[in-house]
Structure 1
């Protein structure tokens, strides 16, 4: 079978399935697994798919964004592991920005009971923070229905009144060339501002976000440390060249 035919089959498979395994493609095309690995590498370079451990997955649309309830049900174990590790970075006396999102929400139950101040733009975070007894500030702005995040010019103006020791943020995409990205330009601007106002910034993301590119750029990779899980291969060296990647294992 010609290379172009295999590539068409792989692309068609990913139109019907979110992920496909190397052995499935090899059986269907009657090609060796080493040949399929080369095919997937080429198709990833051409931005048709994303390599994952043991296969490939469909790239998400640049504007696609799940609701809070949809995000909550995805990668629960990974988010808990990442959240526990990130929470351990909080120290006595820290002023922290906690971004809206389900991965940062998962941090809250693990935060140490020490004297810290938390500023957030996440409506879903407030109850959990108050129950833990933290001094909490919710910034103003427009409420984004899908992510329950405060965004817009009001959020930016409120955020600029503060300075942070650490910022913990979520993202929709992490890419060596295109950096941290998210579908909404207004939400991207809030995240970008928080990074600029922080002494240290950490992006929390399960490994499904690696290689993804969303519509709006937040920041370059070197502007924040990445905290992720990685159950299979080690992170691509292309990421390690641009930033620090803290891999949390189960």
Structure 2
């Protein structure tokens, strides 16, 4: 089997299974464990799967267990995210004071939002702030500790700043959305920033493609009905009837 064919086979098997060990992959492909380890390093580097101790997981599963980097997230459900952010950008009214959460879907949003002089944005994402600035938008950045994986600012300095503001509207991401635990994130510090910021918004929108439904990360930051959920893709039937669900 050629190297490219083997890499594609690894991605297919890990995606179908959710996760696989080095030993299982080596046996299935009839190669050595050291070959599989090198392949997993390659695939992790180009964001086709997530390398973990003893094997690999699909990016979908890794997204619930830990915060993926922005490049890793950006490879997932690209068309759905584009549809979501086009709809979300239309909700920003002239003269608004707007919060934009960190995340890969909200990163796409900042390329679509109005750059009008009378609209001001607050974000806890260094990357989002940079892109908003490049577009000529008025932008403020929270304080806090910088998380390298997500480029998010977190901690008490971030939440203290957010607690002083009232937003006309805000846009948030979520790693998981479930009936039992609501909106969830794998990181307690990011979840707390989301919770505080959401409490300061008059109109609240969570931007989440259909893959997030039925998934649960470690920390809840909002209930299922705390915000309108703008989504695209095949939403599971048990969530399709939600009154606060906006499908685009």
Length-normalised TM-score, structure 2: 0.73
What corresponds to 1:60 in structure 2?
Answer: 61
Q: In the alignment, does 2:124 pair up with 1:124?
A: no
What corresponds to 2:15 in structure 1?
Answer: 18
Q: Does the Cα contact within 8 Å between 2:102 and 2:172 map onto a contact in 1?
A: yes
| 1:24-64 Cα distance to aligned partner (Å, 9 max, x none) | xxxxxxxxxxxxxxxxxxxxxxxxxxxxxxxxx99836532
Q: In the alignment, does 2:88 pair up with 1:91?
A: no
**Structure 2 regions of 5+ residues with no counterpart?**
1-12, 18-57
Q: 1:173 aligns with which of 172, 176, 193?
A: 176
CA drift at 1:240: 3.4
Which structure 1 residue ranges, 4+ long, deviate > 6 Å from structure 2? none
TM alignment of 1:209-248, pairs within 5 A: 209-230=212-233, 232=234, 235-238=236-239, 240-241=241-242, 243-248=243-248
Say which SS state the counterpart of residue 222 (structure 1) adopts.
coil
TM alignment of 1:1-250, pairs within 5 A: 17-19=14-16, 60=61, 62-114=64-116, 115-230=118-233, 232=234, 235-238=236-239, 240-241=241-242, 243-248=243-248
Quote the Cα distance in structure 2 between the aligned partners of 1:236 and 1:210.
Answer: 10
Q: Does the Cα contact within 8 Å between 1:59 and 1:212 map onto a contact in 2?
A: no
**Structure 1 regions of 5+ residues with no counterpart?**
1-15, 21-56
Relative to structure 1, the CA distance from residue 76 to residue 93 in structure 2 (aligned partners, 3 Å threshold; closer, same or farther) is: same
Aligned residues: 195
Q: Does the Cα contact within 8 Å between 2:122 and 2:141 map onto a contact in 1?
A: yes
Quote the Cα distance in structure 2 between the aligned partners of 1:196 and 1:206.
Answer: 23
| 1:63-112 Cα distance to aligned partner (Å, 9 max, x none) | 32211111122222211111111111101011110001110010112112
| 1:171-224 Cα distance to aligned partner (Å, 9 max, x none) | 100011210000001100100111100001100011111110000001101101
